[in-house]
A and B are shown apart, each in its own frame.
Chain A
Amino acid sequence: MSPTIFLTLAIIAVVSAMFVVFAKNPVHSVLSLIVTFFSIAGLYLLMNAQFLFVVQIIVYAGAIMVLFLFVLMLLNLSADTEPQKSNRFRVIASASAGLLSLVFSAGMVIDATMGDRNVTNIQEIGLVKHLGKVLFTDYLVPFEISSILFLAGMVGAVLLGKRTPKESKS
Protein backbone atom coordinates (compact mmCIF):
# COMPACT_ATOMS: atom_id res chain seq x y z
CA MET A 1 0.00 0.00 0.00
CA SER A 2 2.51 2.59 1.08
CA PRO A 3 4.95 2.13 -1.86
CA THR A 4 2.10 2.80 -4.23
CA ILE A 5 1.09 5.93 -2.43
CA PHE A 6 4.68 7.04 -2.23
CA LEU A 7 5.23 6.52 -5.93
CA THR A 8 2.06 8.34 -6.86
CA LEU A 9 2.83 11.27 -4.66
CA ALA A 10 6.45 11.39 -5.78
CA ILE A 11 5.49 11.43 -9.44
CA ILE A 12 2.91 14.14 -8.86
CA ALA A 13 5.50 16.19 -6.97
CA VAL A 14 8.18 15.88 -9.62
CA VAL A 15 5.89 16.55 -12.53
CA SER A 16 4.29 19.54 -10.97
CA ALA A 17 7.75 20.80 -9.93
CA MET A 18 8.84 20.55 -13.55
CA PHE A 19 5.76 22.47 -14.50
CA VAL A 20 6.67 25.18 -12.04
CA VAL A 21 9.92 25.69 -13.86
CA PHE A 22 8.67 25.42 -17.40
CA ALA A 23 5.29 27.13 -17.22
CA LYS A 24 5.24 30.35 -19.22
CA ASN A 25 2.65 31.99 -17.09
CA PRO A 26 3.76 32.66 -13.52
CA VAL A 27 0.23 32.06 -12.29
CA HIS A 28 0.42 28.53 -13.62
CA SER A 29 3.72 28.16 -11.84
CA VAL A 30 2.16 29.18 -8.57
CA LEU A 31 -0.67 26.77 -8.97
CA SER A 32 1.54 23.85 -9.83
CA LEU A 33 3.83 24.72 -6.91
CA ILE A 34 0.79 24.40 -4.67
CA VAL A 35 0.25 20.96 -6.08
CA THR A 36 3.82 20.06 -5.30
CA PHE A 37 3.47 21.29 -1.78
CA PHE A 38 0.33 19.26 -1.27
CA SER A 39 2.02 16.13 -2.49
CA ILE A 40 4.96 16.79 -0.19
CA ALA A 41 2.45 17.23 2.63
CA GLY A 42 1.08 13.86 1.66
CA LEU A 43 4.53 12.36 1.97
CA TYR A 44 4.80 13.88 5.44
CA LEU A 45 1.61 12.12 6.38
CA LEU A 46 3.04 8.94 4.98
CA MET A 47 5.88 9.27 7.45
CA ASN A 48 3.39 9.97 10.22
CA ALA A 49 4.66 13.54 10.64
CA GLN A 50 1.24 14.86 11.32
CA PHE A 51 2.24 18.18 12.77
CA LEU A 52 4.40 19.08 9.80
CA PHE A 53 1.66 17.91 7.45
CA VAL A 54 -0.68 20.45 8.95
CA VAL A 55 1.90 23.19 9.04
CA GLN A 56 2.94 22.48 5.46
CA ILE A 57 -0.58 22.92 4.26
CA ILE A 58 -1.34 25.97 6.32
CA VAL A 59 1.92 27.84 5.97
CA TYR A 60 3.19 26.82 2.59
CA ALA A 61 0.28 25.88 0.50
CA GLY A 62 -1.87 28.38 2.27
CA ALA A 63 -0.09 31.48 3.42
CA ILE A 64 3.04 31.62 1.34
CA MET A 65 1.51 30.67 -1.95
CA VAL A 66 -1.32 33.10 -1.39
CA LEU A 67 1.29 35.73 -0.84
CA PHE A 68 2.89 34.84 -4.18
CA LEU A 69 -0.37 34.90 -5.94
CA PHE A 70 -1.21 38.19 -4.34
CA VAL A 71 1.97 39.81 -5.51
CA LEU A 72 1.53 38.39 -8.99
CA MET A 73 -1.89 39.87 -9.24
CA LEU A 74 -0.68 43.11 -7.75
CA LEU A 75 2.07 43.51 -10.30
CA ASN A 76 -0.17 42.26 -13.04
CA LEU A 77 2.41 40.08 -14.69
CA SER A 78 1.64 37.78 -17.55
CA ALA A 79 3.56 35.31 -19.65
CA ASP A 80 4.69 37.61 -22.39
CA THR A 81 6.22 40.17 -20.06
CA GLU A 82 9.00 37.80 -19.27
CA PRO A 83 11.85 37.84 -21.77
CA GLN A 84 13.59 34.57 -22.41
CA LYS A 85 17.15 33.88 -21.55
CA SER A 86 19.67 33.12 -24.21
CA ASN A 87 19.86 29.52 -25.20
CA ARG A 88 23.48 29.29 -24.33
CA PHE A 89 22.80 30.30 -20.75
CA ARG A 90 19.92 27.83 -20.59
CA VAL A 91 22.14 25.02 -21.74
CA ILE A 92 24.86 25.91 -19.27
CA ALA A 93 22.34 26.26 -16.47
CA SER A 94 20.64 22.95 -17.23
CA ALA A 95 23.99 21.29 -17.60
CA SER A 96 25.18 22.52 -14.24
CA ALA A 97 21.91 21.46 -12.63
CA GLY A 98 22.34 18.05 -14.22
CA LEU A 99 25.93 17.87 -13.01
CA LEU A 100 24.76 18.72 -9.55
CA SER A 101 22.25 15.87 -9.55
CA LEU A 102 24.95 13.58 -10.88
CA VAL A 103 27.20 14.50 -8.01
CA PHE A 104 24.41 14.04 -5.52
CA SER A 105 23.68 10.58 -6.78
CA ALA A 106 27.36 9.77 -6.95
CA GLY A 107 27.68 10.87 -3.35
CA MET A 108 24.75 8.67 -2.47
CA VAL A 109 26.25 5.66 -4.15
CA ILE A 110 29.65 6.13 -2.55
CA ASP A 111 28.43 7.06 0.87
CA ALA A 112 25.65 4.46 1.13
CA THR A 113 26.02 3.28 4.69
CA MET A 114 22.47 3.66 5.84
CA GLY A 115 22.09 0.42 7.74
CA ASP A 116 18.41 -0.16 8.35
CA ARG A 117 16.83 1.65 5.50
CA ASN A 118 13.28 1.44 6.60
CA VAL A 119 11.34 4.54 7.16
CA THR A 120 8.79 3.44 9.65
CA ASN A 121 5.49 5.20 9.65
CA ILE A 122 4.27 3.98 12.94
CA GLN A 123 6.06 6.12 15.43
CA GLU A 124 4.94 8.91 17.65
CA ILE A 125 7.62 11.50 17.16
CA GLY A 126 5.70 13.27 14.42
CA LEU A 127 2.65 13.84 16.54
CA VAL A 128 1.68 17.29 17.76
CA LYS A 129 1.76 16.19 21.39
CA HIS A 130 5.27 14.90 21.21
CA LEU A 131 6.70 17.72 19.11
CA GLY A 132 5.03 20.31 21.27
CA LYS A 133 6.74 18.90 24.31
CA VAL A 134 10.15 18.99 22.70
CA LEU A 135 9.55 22.40 21.23
CA PHE A 136 8.63 24.00 24.50
CA THR A 137 11.30 22.34 26.58
CA ASP A 138 14.50 21.78 24.63
CA TYR A 139 13.91 24.35 21.90
CA LEU A 140 12.19 27.05 23.83
CA VAL A 141 14.76 29.73 23.22
CA PRO A 142 15.04 29.17 19.46
CA PHE A 143 11.29 29.17 19.32
CA GLU A 144 11.08 32.54 21.00
CA ILE A 145 13.86 33.88 18.85
CA SER A 146 12.00 32.78 15.76
CA SER A 147 9.14 34.96 16.87
CA ILE A 148 11.54 37.90 16.95
CA LEU A 149 12.63 36.93 13.47
CA PHE A 150 9.03 37.13 12.36
CA LEU A 151 8.69 40.51 13.92
CA ALA A 152 11.82 41.70 12.15
CA GLY A 153 10.59 40.24 8.89
CA MET A 154 7.29 42.01 9.33
CA VAL A 155 8.89 45.34 10.06
CA GLY A 156 11.25 44.85 7.12
CA ALA A 157 8.44 44.02 4.75
CA VAL A 158 6.39 47.00 5.85
CA LEU A 159 9.36 49.31 5.59
CA LEU A 160 10.27 48.06 2.16
CA GLY A 161 6.76 48.15 0.90
CA LYS A 162 6.12 51.67 2.08
CA ARG A 163 6.69 54.43 -0.43
CA THR A 164 9.46 56.75 0.67
CA PRO A 165 8.30 60.34 1.26
CA LYS A 166 10.45 61.54 -1.60
CA GLU A 167 8.83 59.16 -3.99
CA SER A 168 5.36 60.06 -2.94
CA LYS A 169 6.08 63.70 -3.55
CA SER A 170 7.28 63.08 -7.06
Chain B
Amino acid sequence: MTEVTAEHYIILATTLFVIGVAGVLIRRNAIVVLMCVELMLNAVNLLMVAFSSHHKDSAGQIFVFFIMVVAAAEVAVGLAILVMVYRNTRSTDVSLLDQLKN
Protein backbone atom coordinates (compact mmCIF):
# COMPACT_ATOMS: atom_id res chain seq x y z
CA MET B 1 0.00 0.00 0.00
CA THR B 2 1.78 3.05 -1.22
CA GLU B 3 -0.96 5.55 -1.04
CA VAL B 4 -4.16 5.91 0.94
CA THR B 5 -7.08 5.97 -1.48
CA ALA B 6 -10.77 6.63 -1.03
CA GLU B 7 -11.43 2.91 -1.12
CA HIS B 8 -9.49 2.38 2.04
CA TYR B 9 -11.63 4.91 3.78
CA ILE B 10 -14.75 3.27 2.44
CA ILE B 11 -13.68 -0.10 3.70
CA LEU B 12 -12.83 1.29 7.10
CA ALA B 13 -16.08 3.25 7.35
CA THR B 14 -18.12 0.22 6.27
CA THR B 15 -16.41 -1.96 8.83
CA LEU B 16 -17.05 0.52 11.60
CA PHE B 17 -20.65 0.94 10.47
CA VAL B 18 -21.32 -2.78 10.44
CA ILE B 19 -19.73 -3.15 13.85
CA GLY B 20 -22.08 -0.45 15.01
CA VAL B 21 -25.06 -2.21 13.51
CA ALA B 22 -24.04 -5.48 15.11
CA GLY B 23 -23.75 -3.70 18.43
CA VAL B 24 -27.17 -2.19 18.14
CA LEU B 25 -28.62 -5.57 17.41
CA ILE B 26 -26.76 -7.67 19.91
CA ARG B 27 -26.62 -5.57 23.02
CA ARG B 28 -29.57 -5.12 25.33
CA ASN B 29 -28.27 -2.31 27.38
CA ALA B 30 -29.88 0.81 25.99
CA ILE B 31 -26.82 2.94 26.74
CA VAL B 32 -24.53 0.67 24.78
CA VAL B 33 -27.07 0.64 21.98
CA LEU B 34 -26.97 4.39 21.93
CA MET B 35 -23.20 4.32 21.85
CA CYS B 36 -23.25 1.98 18.91
CA VAL B 37 -25.52 4.44 17.14
CA GLU B 38 -22.86 7.07 17.72
CA LEU B 39 -20.32 4.71 16.27
CA MET B 40 -22.42 4.33 13.14
CA LEU B 41 -22.74 8.07 12.86
CA ASN B 42 -18.98 8.44 13.12
CA ALA B 43 -18.44 5.88 10.44
CA VAL B 44 -20.61 7.91 8.13
CA ASN B 45 -18.85 11.10 9.14
CA LEU B 46 -15.53 9.57 8.28
CA LEU B 47 -16.80 8.62 4.87
CA MET B 48 -18.15 12.10 4.28
CA VAL B 49 -14.86 13.71 5.13
CA ALA B 50 -13.03 11.28 2.90
CA PHE B 51 -15.31 12.07 -0.02
CA SER B 52 -15.09 15.75 0.74
CA SER B 53 -11.30 15.62 0.45
CA HIS B 54 -11.53 13.43 -2.55
CA HIS B 55 -13.84 15.78 -4.42
CA LYS B 56 -12.23 18.89 -2.98
CA ASP B 57 -15.56 20.15 -1.89
CA SER B 58 -16.12 21.63 1.54
CA ALA B 59 -19.85 20.84 1.61
CA GLY B 60 -19.15 17.37 2.93
CA GLN B 61 -17.29 18.73 5.92
CA ILE B 62 -19.98 21.25 6.61
CA PHE B 63 -22.48 18.40 6.67
CA VAL B 64 -20.34 16.46 9.05
CA PHE B 65 -20.45 19.43 11.28
CA PHE B 66 -24.22 19.50 11.13
CA ILE B 67 -24.37 15.79 11.78
CA MET B 68 -22.35 16.31 14.89
CA VAL B 69 -24.78 19.00 15.98
CA VAL B 70 -27.70 16.68 15.49
CA ALA B 71 -25.86 13.83 17.18
CA ALA B 72 -25.16 15.95 20.19
CA ALA B 73 -28.80 16.95 20.46
CA GLU B 74 -29.88 13.37 19.92
CA VAL B 75 -27.65 12.05 22.64
CA ALA B 76 -28.88 14.66 25.04
CA VAL B 77 -32.53 13.83 24.43
CA GLY B 78 -31.87 10.11 24.10
CA LEU B 79 -30.10 9.94 27.43
CA ALA B 80 -32.85 11.97 29.04
CA ILE B 81 -35.37 9.48 27.77
CA LEU B 82 -33.20 6.68 29.06
CA VAL B 83 -33.10 8.17 32.48
CA MET B 84 -36.87 8.42 32.41
CA VAL B 85 -37.18 4.83 31.34
CA TYR B 86 -34.83 3.72 34.02
CA ARG B 87 -36.81 5.60 36.60
CA ASN B 88 -39.94 3.78 35.52
CA THR B 89 -38.60 0.30 34.93
CA ARG B 90 -35.50 0.19 37.08
CA SER B 91 -33.66 -1.12 34.07
CA THR B 92 -32.15 -0.02 30.80
CA ASP B 93 -32.93 -3.27 29.05
CA VAL B 94 -34.38 -2.60 25.62
CA SER B 95 -36.23 -5.93 25.58
CA LEU B 96 -38.41 -4.62 28.34
CA LEU B 97 -39.56 -1.79 26.12
CA ASP B 98 -42.41 -3.66 24.53
CA GLN B 99 -45.13 -1.24 25.40
CA LEU B 100 -45.78 -0.77 21.69
CA LYS B 101 -47.41 -4.17 21.70
CA ASN B 102 -50.75 -2.92 22.95
A-side residues, CB < 8 A to B, are 2-3, 6-7, 10, 13-14, 17-18, 20-21, 26, 29-30, 33, 36-37, 40, 43-44, 46-49, 51-52, 55-56, 59-60, 63-64, 67-68, 71-72, 74-75, 77, 81-85, 90, 93-94, 96-98, 100-101, 104-105, 108, 112, 114, 116-121, 123, 125-126, 130-131, 134-135, 139, 142, 146, 149-150, 152-154, 156-158, 160-161, 163, 167
Contact = CB atoms under 8 A, between A and B. Distances in A.
Given A161-B80, A161-B83, A126 B35 contact: no
Contacts of B56: 120, 123, 125
Given A83-B28, A94-B22, A119-B50, 20 more contacts: A3-B1, A10-B8, A30-B35, A37-B42, A43-B12, A52-B65, A83-B93, A94-B25, A97-B19, A98-B18, A108-B14, A114-B5, A114-B7, A117-B5, A118-B6, A120-B53, A125-B56, A126-B53, A134-B62, A160-B81
Contacts of A153: 72-74, 76-77
Q: Is the interface of B mostly helix, strand, loop or mixed?
A: helix
Contacts of B80: 156-158, 160-161
